Structure 1
Amino acid sequence: MADVIVIGDGPGGLSAALFLAKNGKSVQVFGQDETPMHYAMLYNYLGIPEIKGSDFQKIARDQVTKFGATLHDQEVTRVEPTDDGFVVTTADGSRHESKYVIIAEGKGLELAAQLNLPRSQSGVEVDRNGRTAIERLYVVGRSTRINRSQAIISAGEGAAAALDILSTEAGRDVHDFDTVK
Protein backbone atom coordinates (compact mmCIF):
# COMPACT_ATOMS: atom_id res chain seq x y z
CA MET A 1 0.00 0.00 0.00
CA ALA A 2 1.34 3.43 -0.95
CA ASP A 3 1.21 6.27 1.52
CA VAL A 4 -0.25 8.57 -1.14
CA ILE A 5 -1.66 8.17 -4.62
CA VAL A 6 -1.65 11.33 -6.72
CA ILE A 7 -4.01 11.41 -9.69
CA GLY A 8 -2.82 13.95 -12.23
CA ASP A 9 0.65 14.91 -13.34
CA GLY A 10 0.38 18.63 -13.96
CA PRO A 11 1.88 21.25 -11.61
CA GLY A 12 -0.54 20.53 -8.73
CA GLY A 13 -0.08 16.78 -8.71
CA LEU A 14 3.67 16.85 -9.31
CA SER A 15 4.23 19.49 -6.63
CA ALA A 16 2.35 17.37 -4.08
CA ALA A 17 4.31 14.29 -5.13
CA LEU A 18 7.62 16.15 -4.81
CA PHE A 19 6.98 17.37 -1.25
CA LEU A 20 5.73 13.95 -0.15
CA ALA A 21 8.48 11.87 -1.77
CA LYS A 22 11.19 14.27 -0.63
CA ASN A 23 9.96 13.69 2.92
CA GLY A 24 10.06 9.91 2.76
CA LYS A 25 6.49 9.01 1.81
CA SER A 26 5.81 6.32 -0.77
CA VAL A 27 4.07 8.10 -3.63
CA GLN A 28 2.44 6.72 -6.77
CA VAL A 29 1.52 9.30 -9.44
CA PHE A 30 -0.98 8.38 -12.15
CA GLY A 31 -1.10 10.53 -15.26
CA GLN A 32 -0.46 10.34 -18.96
CA ASP A 33 1.47 13.59 -19.34
CA GLU A 34 -1.43 15.09 -21.28
CA THR A 35 -1.67 18.22 -19.16
CA PRO A 36 -2.51 21.58 -20.79
CA MET A 37 0.98 22.64 -19.66
CA HIS A 38 2.20 21.32 -23.02
CA TYR A 39 0.43 24.27 -24.67
CA ALA A 40 1.72 26.85 -22.20
CA MET A 41 4.54 29.35 -22.33
CA LEU A 42 5.32 30.46 -18.79
CA TYR A 43 6.47 34.01 -18.15
CA ASN A 44 4.69 34.37 -14.79
CA TYR A 45 6.15 31.53 -12.71
CA LEU A 46 8.14 33.24 -9.96
CA GLY A 47 11.85 32.47 -10.19
CA ILE A 48 11.72 31.24 -13.78
CA PRO A 49 12.13 34.06 -16.34
CA GLU A 50 10.48 31.95 -19.05
CA ILE A 51 9.99 28.30 -19.88
CA LYS A 52 7.94 26.25 -22.27
CA GLY A 53 5.29 24.18 -20.50
CA SER A 54 6.64 20.96 -21.99
CA ASP A 55 10.12 21.74 -20.65
CA PHE A 56 8.61 22.55 -17.25
CA GLN A 57 6.80 19.20 -17.26
CA LYS A 58 9.95 17.25 -18.15
CA ILE A 59 11.96 18.93 -15.39
CA ALA A 60 9.16 18.44 -12.85
CA ARG A 61 8.63 14.77 -13.73
CA ASP A 62 12.39 14.10 -13.50
CA GLN A 63 12.59 15.92 -10.16
CA VAL A 64 9.71 13.93 -8.68
CA THR A 65 11.18 10.58 -9.72
CA LYS A 66 14.62 11.62 -8.43
CA PHE A 67 13.09 11.89 -4.96
CA GLY A 68 11.48 8.46 -5.22
CA ALA A 69 7.94 8.91 -6.49
CA THR A 70 6.79 6.41 -9.11
CA LEU A 71 5.06 7.71 -12.23
CA HIS A 72 2.47 5.49 -13.92
CA ASP A 73 1.35 6.25 -17.48
CA GLN A 74 -2.20 5.14 -16.74
CA GLU A 75 -5.65 6.67 -16.57
CA VAL A 76 -7.50 6.34 -13.28
CA THR A 77 -11.15 5.41 -13.76
CA ARG A 78 -12.32 5.03 -10.19
CA VAL A 79 -11.48 6.04 -6.61
CA GLU A 80 -13.15 4.21 -3.74
CA PRO A 81 -12.82 5.02 -0.04
CA THR A 82 -12.09 1.99 2.18
CA ASP A 83 -11.65 1.53 5.93
CA ASP A 84 -7.87 1.87 5.53
CA GLY A 85 -7.77 4.60 2.86
CA PHE A 86 -8.56 4.21 -0.82
CA VAL A 87 -8.53 1.83 -3.74
CA VAL A 88 -7.76 3.39 -7.11
CA THR A 89 -8.65 1.50 -10.29
CA THR A 90 -6.95 2.19 -13.61
CA ALA A 91 -8.30 1.76 -17.13
CA ASP A 92 -6.63 -1.65 -17.45
CA GLY A 93 -8.46 -2.87 -14.32
CA SER A 94 -5.44 -2.73 -12.00
CA ARG A 95 -6.19 -1.78 -8.41
CA HIS A 96 -3.84 0.24 -6.21
CA GLU A 97 -4.23 1.05 -2.50
CA SER A 98 -3.14 4.05 -0.48
CA LYS A 99 -3.78 5.80 2.80
CA TYR A 100 -4.34 9.20 1.12
CA VAL A 101 -5.39 10.35 -2.35
CA ILE A 102 -4.73 13.70 -3.99
CA ILE A 103 -6.80 14.38 -7.10
CA ALA A 104 -5.44 16.93 -9.59
CA GLU A 105 -7.61 15.94 -12.54
CA GLY A 106 -8.01 19.34 -14.15
CA LYS A 107 -11.35 20.76 -15.17
CA GLY A 108 -13.03 17.47 -16.16
CA LEU A 109 -14.01 16.53 -12.59
CA GLU A 110 -15.05 12.97 -13.48
CA LEU A 111 -13.55 11.44 -10.33
CA ALA A 112 -14.88 14.25 -8.14
CA ALA A 113 -18.36 13.62 -9.57
CA GLN A 114 -18.06 9.86 -8.92
CA LEU A 115 -17.24 10.63 -5.29
CA ASN A 116 -20.15 13.11 -5.03
CA LEU A 117 -17.83 15.83 -3.79
CA PRO A 118 -19.55 19.17 -3.15
CA ARG A 119 -19.00 21.69 -5.95
CA SER A 120 -19.55 25.35 -6.57
CA GLN A 121 -19.25 27.38 -9.77
CA SER A 122 -15.51 27.56 -9.11
CA GLY A 123 -15.00 23.81 -8.86
CA VAL A 124 -14.66 21.24 -6.11
CA GLU A 125 -15.11 22.70 -2.63
CA VAL A 126 -11.99 22.30 -0.49
CA ASP A 127 -10.39 24.02 2.47
CA ARG A 128 -7.18 26.00 2.04
CA ASN A 129 -5.12 22.79 2.25
CA GLY A 130 -7.14 20.99 -0.43
CA ARG A 131 -9.07 18.80 2.01
CA THR A 132 -12.45 17.60 0.78
CA ALA A 133 -15.53 16.38 2.63
CA ILE A 134 -14.02 12.86 2.51
CA GLU A 135 -11.33 12.19 5.10
CA ARG A 136 -7.79 11.82 3.63
CA LEU A 137 -8.98 12.88 0.16
CA TYR A 138 -7.58 16.09 -1.30
CA VAL A 139 -8.33 17.95 -4.53
CA VAL A 140 -5.88 20.54 -5.88
CA GLY A 141 -5.19 22.62 -8.96
CA ARG A 142 -7.56 23.50 -11.72
CA SER A 143 -10.28 21.25 -10.27
CA THR A 144 -10.77 23.80 -7.47
CA ARG A 145 -10.64 26.98 -9.60
CA ILE A 146 -11.72 26.00 -13.07
CA ASN A 147 -11.77 29.50 -14.56
CA ARG A 148 -8.71 30.87 -12.77
CA SER A 149 -6.11 28.23 -13.39
CA GLN A 150 -2.42 29.15 -13.14
CA ALA A 151 0.51 26.76 -12.93
CA ILE A 152 2.04 28.49 -9.93
CA ILE A 153 -1.26 28.45 -8.00
CA SER A 154 -1.79 24.77 -8.78
CA ALA A 155 1.75 23.96 -7.62
CA GLY A 156 1.15 25.90 -4.40
CA GLU A 157 -2.08 24.01 -3.76
CA GLY A 158 -0.26 20.71 -4.29
CA ALA A 159 2.42 21.78 -1.82
CA ALA A 160 -0.22 22.82 0.75
CA ALA A 161 -1.97 19.43 0.50
CA ALA A 162 1.33 17.58 0.84
CA LEU A 163 2.37 19.60 3.89
CA ASP A 164 -1.05 18.96 5.44
CA ILE A 165 -0.61 15.21 4.96
CA LEU A 166 2.96 15.33 6.34
CA SER A 167 1.76 17.35 9.35
CA THR A 168 -1.15 14.98 9.99
CA GLU A 169 1.16 11.97 9.86
CA ALA A 170 3.75 13.62 12.14
CA GLY A 171 1.17 14.92 14.62
CA ARG A 172 2.73 18.39 14.41
CA ASP A 173 3.27 21.15 11.87
CA VAL A 174 5.81 20.13 9.24
CA HIS A 175 7.73 22.65 7.17
CA ASP A 176 9.83 21.70 4.18
CA PHE A 177 12.62 24.24 4.32
CA ASP A 178 16.16 23.29 3.38
CA THR A 179 19.24 25.39 4.03
CA VAL A 180 22.45 25.87 2.11
CA LYS A 181 25.18 23.59 3.43
Structure 2
Amino acid sequence: MYDIVIIGAGPAGASAALFTSKAGKRTLLVDNDKSITKRALFWNYLGVMEMTGPDLVETGKKQAVKFGAELIVDQVTHIVKKDQGFVVETKNKGQFEANQVILATGLMVDLAEQLGLETKPGTEPRVKTVLNVDNSGKTNVEGIWAAGVVAGAGFHAIITAGDGAKVAVNVISELNGERYMDHDVLQTK
Protein backbone atom coordinates (compact mmCIF):
# COMPACT_ATOMS: atom_id res chain seq x y z
CA MET A 1 0.00 0.00 0.00
CA TYR A 2 1.21 3.49 -0.84
CA ASP A 3 1.17 6.21 1.78
CA ILE A 4 0.09 8.68 -0.89
CA VAL A 5 -1.08 8.49 -4.49
CA ILE A 6 -0.84 11.81 -6.33
CA ILE A 7 -2.91 12.16 -9.47
CA GLY A 8 -1.42 14.65 -11.91
CA ALA A 9 2.26 15.48 -12.46
CA GLY A 10 2.07 19.12 -13.48
CA PRO A 11 3.64 21.70 -11.16
CA ALA A 12 1.27 21.00 -8.22
CA GLY A 13 1.44 17.22 -8.41
CA ALA A 14 5.17 16.94 -9.06
CA SER A 15 5.89 19.41 -6.27
CA ALA A 16 3.70 17.42 -3.88
CA ALA A 17 5.43 14.18 -4.93
CA LEU A 18 8.85 15.74 -4.42
CA PHE A 19 7.98 16.64 -0.82
CA THR A 20 6.21 13.38 0.05
CA SER A 21 8.90 11.14 -1.42
CA LYS A 22 11.71 13.19 0.12
CA ALA A 23 9.93 12.77 3.47
CA GLY A 24 10.17 9.01 3.06
CA LYS A 25 6.51 8.44 2.26
CA ARG A 26 5.81 5.70 -0.24
CA THR A 27 4.51 7.82 -3.11
CA LEU A 28 2.94 6.94 -6.44
CA LEU A 29 2.66 9.75 -8.98
CA VAL A 30 0.15 9.01 -11.75
CA ASP A 31 0.30 11.22 -14.83
CA ASN A 32 -1.92 11.13 -17.91
CA ASP A 33 0.66 13.18 -19.87
CA LYS A 34 -1.94 15.86 -20.74
CA SER A 35 -0.84 18.72 -18.49
CA ILE A 36 -1.88 22.14 -19.78
CA THR A 37 1.53 23.31 -18.51
CA LYS A 38 3.08 21.59 -21.53
CA ARG A 39 1.78 24.47 -23.66
CA ALA A 40 3.48 27.18 -21.60
CA LEU A 41 6.68 29.18 -21.79
CA PHE A 42 8.02 30.49 -18.49
CA TRP A 43 9.73 33.83 -18.05
CA ASN A 44 8.13 34.42 -14.64
CA TYR A 45 9.19 31.33 -12.68
CA LEU A 46 11.51 32.28 -9.80
CA GLY A 47 14.97 30.78 -10.15
CA VAL A 48 14.58 29.99 -13.85
CA MET A 49 15.57 32.50 -16.52
CA GLU A 50 13.48 30.76 -19.19
CA MET A 51 11.93 27.32 -19.48
CA THR A 52 9.37 25.60 -21.65
CA GLY A 53 6.36 23.93 -20.11
CA PRO A 54 7.40 20.46 -21.32
CA ASP A 55 10.83 20.95 -19.69
CA LEU A 56 9.28 22.13 -16.43
CA VAL A 57 6.93 19.12 -16.28
CA GLU A 58 9.73 16.64 -17.05
CA THR A 59 12.08 18.25 -14.53
CA GLY A 60 9.40 18.03 -11.84
CA LYS A 61 8.82 14.33 -12.53
CA LYS A 62 12.57 13.63 -12.45
CA GLN A 63 12.96 15.45 -9.11
CA ALA A 64 10.16 13.41 -7.53
CA VAL A 65 11.56 10.13 -8.88
CA LYS A 66 15.07 11.06 -7.67
CA PHE A 67 13.76 11.01 -4.09
CA GLY A 68 11.84 7.76 -4.48
CA ALA A 69 8.44 8.50 -5.97
CA GLU A 70 7.20 5.88 -8.39
CA LEU A 71 5.88 7.36 -11.63
CA ILE A 72 3.42 5.75 -13.99
CA VAL A 73 1.91 7.26 -17.10
CA ASP A 74 -1.74 6.24 -17.23
CA GLN A 75 -5.21 7.64 -16.73
CA VAL A 76 -6.95 7.21 -13.39
CA THR A 77 -10.47 6.03 -14.11
CA HIS A 78 -11.92 5.55 -10.65
CA ILE A 79 -11.17 6.03 -6.96
CA VAL A 80 -12.92 3.83 -4.41
CA LYS A 81 -12.99 4.67 -0.70
CA LYS A 82 -12.44 1.65 1.54
CA ASP A 83 -12.63 1.29 5.32
CA GLN A 84 -8.90 2.02 5.41
CA GLY A 85 -7.71 4.20 2.54
CA PHE A 86 -8.51 4.08 -1.16
CA VAL A 87 -8.18 1.99 -4.29
CA VAL A 88 -7.03 4.02 -7.28
CA GLU A 89 -7.93 2.33 -10.56
CA THR A 90 -6.11 3.12 -13.80
CA LYS A 91 -6.98 2.44 -17.41
CA ASN A 92 -3.97 0.23 -18.24
CA LYS A 93 -1.75 -0.35 -15.19
CA GLY A 94 -4.25 -1.82 -12.72
CA GLN A 95 -5.21 -0.84 -9.21
CA PHE A 96 -3.18 0.75 -6.44
CA GLU A 97 -4.03 1.08 -2.75
CA ALA A 98 -3.26 4.25 -0.87
CA ASN A 99 -3.73 5.68 2.58
CA GLN A 100 -4.15 9.24 1.22
CA VAL A 101 -4.84 10.72 -2.24
CA ILE A 102 -3.86 14.15 -3.57
CA LEU A 103 -5.75 15.35 -6.63
CA ALA A 104 -3.62 17.68 -8.76
CA THR A 105 -5.70 17.30 -11.89
CA GLY A 106 -5.59 20.87 -13.16
CA LEU A 107 -8.82 21.76 -14.93
CA MET A 108 -10.28 18.27 -14.59
CA VAL A 109 -12.85 17.63 -11.84
CA ASP A 110 -14.48 14.46 -13.21
CA LEU A 111 -12.75 12.11 -10.73
CA ALA A 112 -13.60 14.45 -7.88
CA GLU A 113 -17.25 14.64 -8.86
CA GLN A 114 -17.34 10.84 -9.18
CA LEU A 115 -16.15 10.63 -5.56
CA GLY A 116 -18.79 13.08 -4.38
CA LEU A 117 -16.34 15.85 -3.57
CA GLU A 118 -17.83 19.28 -3.10
CA THR A 119 -17.12 21.75 -5.90
CA LYS A 120 -17.60 25.47 -6.35
CA PRO A 121 -17.26 27.92 -9.24
CA GLY A 122 -13.70 28.81 -10.20
CA THR A 123 -12.55 32.40 -10.02
CA GLU A 124 -9.72 32.28 -12.58
CA PRO A 125 -10.27 32.80 -16.30
CA ARG A 126 -10.91 29.46 -18.08
CA VAL A 127 -11.34 27.63 -14.74
CA LYS A 128 -15.03 26.76 -14.57
CA THR A 129 -15.11 24.53 -11.47
CA VAL A 130 -12.74 23.86 -8.56
CA LEU A 131 -12.91 21.67 -5.49
CA ASN A 132 -14.06 23.08 -2.21
CA VAL A 133 -11.01 22.65 0.05
CA ASP A 134 -10.00 24.07 3.39
CA ASN A 135 -6.76 26.03 3.90
CA SER A 136 -4.76 22.81 4.28
CA GLY A 137 -6.04 21.30 1.02
CA LYS A 138 -8.51 18.86 2.58
CA THR A 139 -11.71 18.07 0.72
CA ASN A 140 -14.99 16.94 2.26
CA VAL A 141 -13.87 13.29 2.00
CA GLU A 142 -11.39 12.30 4.71
CA GLY A 143 -8.08 11.28 3.12
CA ILE A 144 -8.65 13.10 -0.18
CA TRP A 145 -6.71 16.32 -0.66
CA ALA A 146 -6.43 18.69 -3.61
CA ALA A 147 -3.69 21.03 -4.82
CA GLY A 148 -3.13 23.52 -7.60
CA VAL A 149 -5.65 24.69 -10.17
CA VAL A 150 -8.24 22.05 -9.22
CA ALA A 151 -8.11 23.38 -5.63
CA GLY A 152 -8.59 26.99 -6.72
CA ALA A 153 -4.99 28.01 -6.06
CA GLY A 154 -4.75 30.00 -9.27
CA PHE A 155 -3.52 29.35 -12.76
CA HIS A 156 0.15 30.40 -12.56
CA ALA A 157 2.55 27.43 -12.47
CA ILE A 158 4.72 28.83 -9.69
CA ILE A 159 1.66 29.32 -7.48
CA THR A 160 0.33 25.83 -8.16
CA ALA A 161 3.78 24.36 -7.43
CA GLY A 162 3.79 26.14 -4.09
CA ASP A 163 0.27 24.92 -3.36
CA GLY A 164 1.34 21.35 -4.14
CA ALA A 165 4.21 21.70 -1.67
CA LYS A 166 1.90 23.19 0.97
CA VAL A 167 -0.64 20.40 0.66
CA ALA A 168 2.09 17.74 0.72
CA VAL A 169 3.56 19.19 3.91
CA ASN A 170 0.08 19.13 5.47
CA VAL A 171 -0.47 15.49 4.46
CA ILE A 172 2.97 14.48 5.76
CA SER A 173 2.33 16.35 9.01
CA GLU A 174 -0.98 14.57 9.50
CA LEU A 175 0.57 11.16 8.80
CA ASN A 176 3.51 11.89 11.15
CA GLY A 177 1.36 13.35 13.92
CA GLU A 178 3.57 16.44 14.10
CA ARG A 179 4.45 19.40 11.87
CA TYR A 180 6.84 18.37 9.10
CA MET A 181 9.74 20.59 8.06
CA ASP A 182 12.06 20.06 5.10
CA HIS A 183 15.04 22.37 4.94
CA ASP A 184 18.26 21.35 3.24
CA VAL A 185 21.31 23.23 4.46
CA LEU A 186 24.24 24.33 2.32
CA GLN A 187 27.41 22.81 3.74
CA THR A 188 30.14 25.31 4.59
CA LYS A 189 33.77 24.63 3.76
Pairwise TM-score range, normalised by the shorter structure? over 0.9
Give the aligned partner of residue 68 of structure 1. Answer: 68
Q: Does 1:159 align with 2:168?
A: no
C-alpha separation in 1, matches of 2:178 and 2:108: 34
Normalising by structure 1, report the TM-score. Answer: 0.95
Encode CA deviations 1:119-154: one digit per residue, 9 max, x unaligned.
1112111012211011111011111228x4111111
TM-fit CA distance, 1:23: 0.8
AA aligned opposite 1:56: L
Gaps of 5+ in 1: none
C-alpha separation in 2, matches of 1:111 and 1:168: 24
Is the contact made by 1:129 and 1:157 (CA closer than 8 Å) also made in structure 2?
A: no
Q: Does 1:150 align with 2:156?
A: yes
Is the contact made by 2:9 and 2:60 (CA closer than 8 Å) also made in structure 1?
A: no
Q: How many corresponding residue pairs?
A: 180
After superposition, residues 106-117 of structure 1 pair within 5 angstroms as 106-117=106-117
AA aligned opposite 2:136: N
Encode CA deviations 1:21-79: one digit per residue, 9 max, x unaligned.
00101101111322111110011111212211111112111111111101111100001
Gaps of 5+ in 2: 123-129
Q: SS at the partner of 2:131? A: coil
Runs of 4+ in 1 over 3 A off after TM superposition: none
C-alpha separation in 2, matches of 1:40 and 1:64: 21
Q: Could you tell me the percent identity over the aligned residues? A: 37
